[in-house]
Structure 1
Amino acid sequence: MNNKKQVRTIATASTLAAAMLPLCATAGGHYTPGVEGLQAASAPPPGLYYLAYVVNYDIDSFRAPGSNDDLPGHNRGNVTAVANRLIWVTDKKVLGADFAVETMVPVAHTSLNLNAAGISDSRTGIGDIYAGVALIWHGQQWDAAAVGGLWFDNGSTSDPASPGKGFKTTMLSGGATYYFDSAKTITASALMRFERNGEDDSGFRPGNEVTLEWGVGKNLGTFQAGVVGYSQWQASDDKGYGASNDRSSRHAVGLELDYPLPGTGVLLKGAAYKEVSVTAGSAAAAKGSVLRFTLVKAF
């Protein structure tokens, strides 16, 4: 490994565990794949909703820059995050869709033990905050959504396990859910996100990223179950010191179970993912498994 790449590897290792919503998933953008699953592109009718995402990303290895080979030595990490999301779906119509606004405030605890980079650190803090607007459509046997928003750079970046990314990210999302029967018991969904990453204080700009989350589910009466997964690809080269034309990617599959609590306006969702393939770009990349628990409360 040349000196520039080694410097970038160590520097990136210190940010791989940046808080929720990168959750160490990549060294690039903010969004954590696996946060959404079944009916990922569906949204509720007008009203106020609170969602709590509890996500644990257990890292069992780190890929070396530009490859799918592990870094040498004992390199592990763990991120446990709670993302507090508030959505207001208004009764205003735009292009035939419900207009909504949302914000998300993540709090994460990150621990890192990377012998390859000489890093051992553990931190808890507020991560970068997200704010966005959305258009939500509902058909007889389909739902669709289009979303635009911004990740801010408010989170701390002072230590290896600090929760901030150090740059802003513009994120555009779109997707659809299709119901195969009129009773809406069988569903298939796909949600695509595009992230345009900004530049950090050092002048480094991570490449843009595309994320696809999907799910196929069956309503079994009192609960819904299904198969879920995600893929993420780096769509443009990194820019700045230590950058290369290597591009990262990752793919995962998992299972999800959803259970509504009758009469409470509460929906509980749980999912587990295993990353089956990870390739690093110009920076090291984590590989592991995701456990996600979601609470949805309608007011």
Structure 2
Amino acid sequence: MQYKEWLAATLALGGCALSTASLATNGHYVPGVEGLNGAITPPPGLYYRSYLVHYDIGSLRDGRGEAVPGRNGGEVTALANRFVWMTDTRLLGADYGMDAIVSIQDISLRFDGVGARDSKNGVGDLFLSPLILGWHGERWDAVFAAGQWLDTGDHAADRPASPGKGFDSTMLTLGGAWHFDDERRWTFSALSRYEIHGSQSEAGITPGDSLVVEWGLGHRLDNGLTLGLVGYDAWQLERDSGVAVPGDKAEQHAIGVEAGGFWPALGLGLNAAYYHEYDNRARPQGDLMRVTLTKAF
């Protein structure tokens, strides 16, 4: 696709292209919210987890990964509230659980290169998962989950910074972790999310399916602090379908560092991570910072 055609198609997409691309590749799930030990489910119990995410947009990238001319930047800050219940029930040899996520977002976009400026805050789309399965071995862990992003958030087709996406998505999760030693001090974890998107009826567009892979290599110190290298890679697997949609598929690639710890006596965990995106296509590119608080009840 030529640059002028890509520019016109991006403008034609309006709210779908810009708000969808602000944090997630082309769907709901935000890469980088899970890092070290992301594929390990907790023991049976009730958990609250909050994700404070700030995404600083430094540029807007075309389908070839080149920066779009002009001043293109923005900030997205989101607080995602997640509630997890891992039951005592066993299913297919795994611990069975469920979870729900609701987020509050503050979005400011200044994409002068495509003539789009907008700021908005509000509640994002609701996620419900009735199925989490977690398996545990001496040196390994695995997880499978299925859930649905519901079109419940604040969305307007003419507002690029809308917190809601304007469409539903089914999300399937598959991941695993390998512990290199008996004490589980060295761990490599990989977590994948596959999203199947519904139609955004206002714009007449159906985003293509997307895949996110998050990974982390961590080492737990004697004092309980875990340090590690983290990253994420995300691809739009299919082109969008509908009226006046671009042929380019979005991509995200990032690498970063994470540190965290868990205090069993308090039932409290705290993690912080920083990611630098280095090769994005057909979407913004920037740096992501995330702080995660976990409370076990």
Q: Report the TM-score, using the length of structure 1 for normalisation.
A: 0.92
**Equivalence for 1:172:** 172
2: distance between equivalents of 1:246 and 1:23? 13
**Equivalence for 1:206:** 207
Cα displacement (A) at 1:262: 5.2
Aligned residues: 291
Q: How does 1:35-46 map to 2 (within 5 A)?
A: 35-46=33-44
* Higher alpha-carbon deviation: 52-61 or 254-263: 254-263
Distance 1:2 1:251, change over 3 A: closer
**Equivalence for 2:257:** 255
1: distance between equivalents of 2:36 and 2:247? 34
**Equivalence for 1:146:** 144
1: distance between equivalents of 2:211 and 2:121? 28
Distance 1:215 1:259, change over 3 A: same
Q: Which amino acid aligns with 1:252?
A: A
2: distance between equivalents of 1:4 and 1:167? 25
Is this contact kept in 1: 2:212–2:234, CA < 8 A?
yes
Structure 2: unaligned runs, 5 residues or longer: none
Q: How does 1:1-299 map to 2 (within 5 A)?
A: 5-12=6-13, 14-15=15-16, 18=19, 24-26=22-24, 28-64=26-62, 66-132=63-129, 133-158=131-156, 159-201=159-201, 202-222=203-223, 223-261=225-263, 263-280=265-282, 285-299=283-297
Residues 42-89 of structure 1: per-residue CA shift (max 9 Å, x gap): 01110000000000010001112x221122211111000000000000
Is this contact kept in 2: 1:25–1:287, CA < 8 A?
no
Is this contact kept in 2: 1:28–1:197, CA < 8 A?
no
Is this contact kept in 1: 2:250–2:280, CA < 8 A?
yes
Is this contact kept in 2: 1:4–1:242, CA < 8 A?
no
Residues 87-113 of structure 1: per-residue CA shift (max 9 Å, x gap): 000011110111101000010101111
Cα displacement (A) at 1:225: 0.2
Is this contact kept in 1: 2:24–2:31, CA < 8 A?
no
1: distance between equivalents of 2:272 and 2:245? 37
2: distance between equivalents of 1:142 and 1:13? 45
1: distance between equivalents of 2:89 and 2:188? 28
Residues 222-268 of structure 1: per-residue CA shift (max 9 Å, x gap): 20000000101111121111234432212100000012235211000
Residues 169-218 of structure 1: per-residue CA shift (max 9 Å, x gap): 11101010111111110000111111111110122111111111100000
1: distance between equivalents of 2:245 and 2:96? 40
Residues 256-295 of structure 1: per-residue CA shift (max 9 Å, x gap): 0012235211000000000010112xxxx11001000000
Q: Which amino acid aligns with 2:43?
A: P
Is this contact kept in 2: 1:54–1:82, CA < 8 A?
yes
Q: What is the aligned-residue RMSD (CA, Å)?
A: 1.7
1: distance between equivalents of 2:8 and 2:222? 54
Q: Which amino acid aligns with 1:34?
A: G
Is this contact kept in 1: 2:51–2:293, CA < 8 A?
yes
Q: Secondary structure at the match of 2:291?
A: strand
Is this contact kept in 1: 2:50–2:82, CA < 8 A?
yes
Is this contact kept in 2: 1:79–1:108, CA < 8 A?
yes
Q: Percent of counterpart pairs with the same letter? A: 41
* Higher alpha-carbon deviation: 152-161 or 36-45: 152-161
Residues 12-71 of structure 1: per-residue CA shift (max 9 Å, x gap): 4644563xxx6713461111100100011001110000000000010001112x221122
Q: Which amino acid aligns with 1:170?
A: T
* Higher alpha-carbon deviation: 285-294 or 232-241: 232-241
